[in-house]
Chain A
Amino acid sequence: MKLYDGGKIIVGLAVFLAFALFPFYNNIGKVNAKPEPKTDTPVIQEWEKQYGKKECVESKEFMRMEHMQLLNNWRDSVVRETYRQYVSTSNGKKFNMSLQTGCMNCHSNKKKFCDECHNYMAVVPYCWDCHIQPKEKEENKS
């Protein structure tokens, strides 16, 4: 078997592989920082003091998996059915169904709470095109 223009082909292949594999060898040894959403806002700490533990509208595991679906259901309840209060199935407490004045009232750290995972997973929810995000103090510091 004879390889015509072998030199060029091999050089070409080497260059191609160098480009194509760049993302892989560039990241060898670097561990991607795992997202660590923070729940240490003043309101949540106040809650922890009052009730002895941190708790959300549902269990942590449920919220991790299903918060998007829960938010969709909340939206339908508020806009289409005019219900405003959500009765938690995990702790029986009542919560105001509202992204801006409910969720973000406790989780006022959008950057360290929402964006931390969303950026890691490269998901871009369009919540904040309309809903007004909380003003964060870190913005001024950095």
Chain B
Amino acid sequence: MSMDRRQFLKIAGISSILGFGATAVSSAKSPVFETLAPPQVEPGKDALIAKRWAMVVDMSKFKTEEDIKKVVDACHHTHNVPDFRNPDGTADTKFEIKWIWKEPYERAFPGAENTYMGEHLKDMPFVVLCNHCENPPCVRVCPTKATFKLTNGITMQDMHRCIGCRFCMAACPYGSRSFNWVDPRKTLKPEFENKDYPTRTKGVVEKCTFCSERLQAGKIPACVEAAPKGAMFFGDIEDQNSEVRKIVTTQLTIRRRPELGTGPAVYYIIGGSEHA
């Protein structure tokens, strides 16, 4: 059969319409492709719910390096964060993964140091973590929506969607994000493995999640739990009666680089009172 150009285009056009039509009909029928919504899903019965989670850190309550280490270890063990070590036992920062870590004042609050500030002040340790910004730059740049804002204010990430482009790392002004250059499981000791939480895989970016999974189970974040008494507070800043709200209302708190307009949700007190 010979066919001219006109006939060919006609047949091709008609068959493609029929083809597309058929797929549209068949996919519309399957209910499993719909996202789950209440009442089919519900929050856990103990789940902690807030409008906007926030944290207050009082550095004066961290008396020793050991106090800081306890907090960092609590988080990193809970979330199976690998700990890379050089052969001589020192921390290997090349592949380092950080969810919560120690930073000197000078680097935690750049631009806030004075010319005549003593070294001991510049080097004063601060516990830093993801600020769960109101207006997070990492979310804006993520091409796959792997990182996003939850309705409770947490800047969350979906590891399944992360393609490891590291735009978020470039965008985050706090250095809160770490890339998995190597398989994190290699350095995880079985005794530090939390069987209730996944690890990550090579090629994804990770950070603090404000313990989203613990909040769902009715527990406060692991770092707050491990911190010395009165050193860390966690709560709903939109709730007028919450502890964090009361502290932020009555005391002078600072946030990391607020001038950037990111709206951090982690507040720091320097030398708070006995009850913070």
> A29 to B113, alpha carbons, bound, how many Å?
81
Any A CB within 8 A of the CB of B198: yes
Check B40–A74 contact: CB distance below 8 A.
Answer: no
A contact patch SS: helix
Check B195–A100 contact: CB distance below 8 A.
Answer: yes
Q: Chain A contacts of B201 at CB under 8 A?
A: 126, 129-130
Any B CB within 8 A of the CB of A69: yes
Check B156–A79 contact: CB distance below 8 A.
Answer: yes
Check A73–B35 contact: CB distance below 8 A.
Answer: yes
Q: Which of A6-14, A18-26, A85-93, A109-117 contacts B (4 or more CB under 8 A)?
A: A85-93
Known A-B contacts A69-B33, A129-B201; the reply to A89 vs B196 at CB < 8 A is no
Minimum Cβ distance to chain A for residue B33 (Å): 7
Known A-B contacts A80-B158, A84-B47, A97-B41; the reply to A132 vs B35 at CB < 8 A is no
Check B44–A130 contact: CB distance below 8 A.
Answer: no
Q: Fill in one digit per residue for A65-85: 1 if any B CB lies within 8 Å of its CB, else 0.
A: 010011001111111111111
Check B45–A85 contact: CB distance below 8 A.
Answer: yes
Minimum Cβ distance to chain A for residue B152 (Å): 7
| Contact of B36 (CB < 8 Å), options: A82, A83, A96, A100 | A83
Interface residues of B in 139-159 (CB under 8 A from A): 148, 150-152, 156, 158-159
Minimum Cβ distance to chain B for residue A88 (Å): 9
> A39 to B227, alpha carbons, bound, how many Å?
43
Closest residue of chain A to B80 (Cβ to Cβ) is A132
> A80 to B156, alpha carbons, bound, how many Å?
8
Q: Which of A70, A75, A97, A130 has the most CB of B within 10 A?
A: A130
Any A CB within 8 A of the CB of B4: no
Any B CB within 8 A of the CB of A131: yes
Check B158–A79 contact: CB distance below 8 A.
Answer: yes
Interface residues of B in 211-262 (CB under 8 A from A): 212, 215-217
Any A CB within 8 A of the CB of B77: no
Interface range, B side: 20 to 34
| Contact of B216 (CB < 8 Å), options: A69, A78, A89, A100 | A78
Any B CB within 8 A of the CB of A41: no
Check B42–A82 contact: CB distance below 8 A.
Answer: no
Check B40–A86 contact: CB distance below 8 A.
Answer: yes
Q: Chain A contacts of B160 at CB under 8 A?
A: 75, 79
Any B CB within 8 A of the CB of A59: no
Interface residues of B in 26-49 (CB under 8 A from A): 32-33, 35-36, 38-45, 47
Q: Chain B contacts of A74 at CB under 8 A?
A: 36
| Contact of A84 (CB < 8 Å), options: B43, B150, B199, B200 | B43
Closest residue of chain B to A88 (Cβ to Cβ) is B40
Any B CB within 8 A of the CB of A101: yes
| Contact of A82 (CB < 8 Å), options: B150, B158, B200 | B150
Known A-B contacts A78-B216, A100-B198; the reply to A73 vs B36 at CB < 8 A is yes
Check B156–A87 contact: CB distance below 8 A.
Answer: no
Minimum Cβ distance to chain B for residue A114 (Å): 16
Minimum Cβ distance to chain A for residue B63 (Å): 35
Q: Fill in one digit per residue for B60-101: 1 if any A CB lies within 8 Å of its CB, else 0.
A: 000000000000000000001000000000000000000000
Q: Fill in one digit per residue for A46-76: 1 if any B CB lies within 8 Å of its CB, else 0.
A: 0000000000000000000010011001111
Check B36–A77 contact: CB distance below 8 A.
Answer: yes
> A84 to B212, alpha carbons, bound, how many Å?
11
Any A CB within 8 A of the CB of B103: no
9 interchain residue pairs of minimum CB distance: A84-B44, A83-B41, A69-B32, A129-B201, A130-B198, A84-B216, A131-B198, A79-B158, A66-B32
Chain A interface residues toward B at CB < 8 A: 66, 69-70, 73-87, 89, 94, 96-97, 100-101, 126, 129-132
Given A79-B160, A80-B158, 9 more pairs with CB closer than 8 A: A78-B216, A80-B150, A81-B41, A82-B152, A83-B36, A83-B38, A87-B40, A87-B42, A129-B201
